[in-house]
Structure 1
């Protein structure tokens, strides 16, 4: 009898081997990742997708059971991140707090801000607020992981505690650490967003699509994170399957087709997505001019480092003060590059202008100066900008309209 009890304590009710334990861990952690990216992130924070009430509650329960995160708190922190990305008000910017802080102390940083009343009042609106949310999931958020620990030990014995510990660390490391940290630190950029977001890898499988972080910052209201042919968003695949089953309804999605600059009035500039124009400027003006400047100096076409590409795209605003001064001094020694960087900053400021009449006048003045610069790439871009401006509706398709 004692031997049976000891054996049960060691191996649990299921008596499974290491292979099955690892398979269980993989399935459980992936379900948690999907809960975060599909429900908390895409559905609750950005309202890009609606789930069937039964499925939505399964997501809520799983989040409570495996993470102890309160929906309203998570949503509020994430929305503030988008509102103040990579500034001192950002709850989790690696450029402000340090990459190692994000990787290893992401959960602590989240806990430090999540229950701030002002944060919740400003950014926590619109989340589910029913009886079970108010009386169980929010005030007793720690009950979930406690219940999970009991279940894990009962099923797997001592090994269950190890499984439970890994589950508790999964979201703090991969979501709070890797996505929020590395996703603003290293990777490639499809769009010149006004932050440091980057796509970590094109095949976004391990973290449910969250690896495509730059795409998401460019189009936060889209339920789909992949935008290029070689990119894959695993979360979007799951959404498509759920939609076929009648369990999900997509509200907004990025178009796959190439967009064009179709609107014919400069007044649209105040309404144009800043990210589109600045991305076009970087690809059609900054990169060609930089390559030409460096080729003339070195006699060959250089390969720009990711660090330099990002600094030239955004004026080096994320660099430490000493590195930014060094970059500015280097740019001054290249007259053409100095001109396009100056005009780039002016255009970026213009894209933030909310007064339509002022925006139209300022755009005309910017175009005249760019066309008189003598820089061919800049002149061509200015001409295309004066003829046509991107319309926001070319990107987001509102399926519910």
Structure 2
């Protein structure tokens, strides 16, 4: 039970960092926060994602490209222009690294106001740090796993960020239902989004890219949105006006 609790905690904490800070804040700026709070969430993202830390800067720029060029040859991760899931992941990695190391020729408009804390970016991307996180996860399993089968979960811990990304970038562009006709293949992967904290309502998000609440129909509960509302009420962030409108 300790291993299962640890896995679930890592899954959702890493996912929260990705959907709240990298996606809704870094890429879309659905809300604002002070420079101090930005560093707080940078640090929490580093802790929650651990060995699979994703740069908020590189993620933000790449995701803006995805929305601007969804399901075209310029999309950093489209199933329509890659041979298979692993080919898409490799293409995404190359896009990400080019942005991270400033080796891209992307227009400046995609980089405007994307958060960037060089110290934490370098710390999170350091391979000794990544390996250290991976060793820590492994030692935890050695200490508490009571069956060899639990160790099959370790690769997910090591690659948690990319695992979350590929679930949406691949499967939510191939399977699921659509509430809206949009100019790409985005779909709502799950009718009740308890695994992806709102991220699987991908069709909704592609229709209303600036809306903080990804759920629209009555059954589409976005688990991240109440946290956004709470942080906004506590004045730790400032939600942009009219960001909780109902569209259906």
Shorter-chain TM range is 0.7 to 0.9
In the alignment, which of 56, 63, 70 is matched to residue 55 of structure 2? 70
1:109 positional shift: 2.3
Task: Give, in whole Å, the separation in 2 of the partners of 1:135 and 1:145.
Answer: 11
For residues 20 and 220 of structure 1, do their structure 2 counterparts lie closer, same or farther at Cα, with a shift above 3 Å needed?
same
Task: Give, in whole Å, the separation in 2 of the partners of 1:121 and 1:133.
Answer: 22
**Higher relative helix content:** 1
1:132 positional shift: 1.6
Contact 1:227–1:254 under 8 Å retained in 2: no
Name the structure 2 match of 1:198. 187
Contact 1:228–1:256 under 8 Å retained in 2: no
Q: How big is the alpha-carbon RMSD for the aligned residues of Structure 1 and Structure 2?
A: 2.6
Name the structure 2 match of 1:167. 157
Contact 2:14–2:49 under 8 Å retained in 1: no
Does residue 189 (structure 1) correspond to residue 171 (structure 2)? The answer is: no
Name the structure 1 match of 2:135. 150
Contact 1:32–1:66 under 8 Å retained in 2: no
Structure 1 length normalisation: TM-score?
0.53
Unaligned runs of 5+ in 1: 1-18, 259-401
Does residue 127 (structure 1) correspond to residue 114 (structure 2)? The answer is: yes
Contact 1:152–1:161 under 8 Å retained in 2: no
1:119 positional shift: 3.3
Structure 2 length normalisation: TM-score?
0.82
Does residue 45 (structure 1) correspond to residue 4 (structure 2)? The answer is: no
For residues 144 and 216 of structure 1, do their structure 2 counterparts lie closer, same or farther at Cα, with a shift above 3 Å needed?
farther
Task: Give, in whole Å, the separation in 2 of the partners of 1:64 and 1:26.
Answer: 13
Q: Deviations over 1:191-214 (max 9, x none)?
A: 111111111123112011011001
Task: Give, in whole Å, the separation in 1 of the partners of 2:130 and 2:191.
Answer: 33
Name the structure 2 match of 1:36. 18
Unaligned runs of 5+ in 2: 99-103
Contact 1:64–1:145 under 8 Å retained in 2: no
1:225 positional shift: 0.5
SS in 1 for 2:106: helix
1:65 positional shift: 2.0
Task: Give, in whole Å, the separation in 1 of the partners of 2:129 and 2:59.
Answer: 16
Task: Give, in whole Å, the separation in 2 of the partners of 1:210 and 1:64.
Answer: 17
SS in 2 for 1:223: coil
Name the structure 2 match of 1:242. 231
Does residue 59 (structure 1) correspond to residue 41 (structure 2)? The answer is: no
Following superposition of structure 1 onto structure 2, how do residues 258-337 of structure 1 map, counting pairs within 5 Å?
Answer: none
In the alignment, which of 216, 220, 230 is matched to residue 231 of structure 1? 220
Bigger CA radius of gyration? 1
Contact 1:77–1:119 under 8 Å retained in 2: no
Does residue 108 (structure 1) correspond to residue 98 (structure 2)? The answer is: no
| Greater length-normalized contact order (CA 8 Å, ≥ 6 residues apart) | 2
1:120 positional shift: 7.7
Name the structure 1 match of 2:101. none
SS in 2 for 1:197: coil
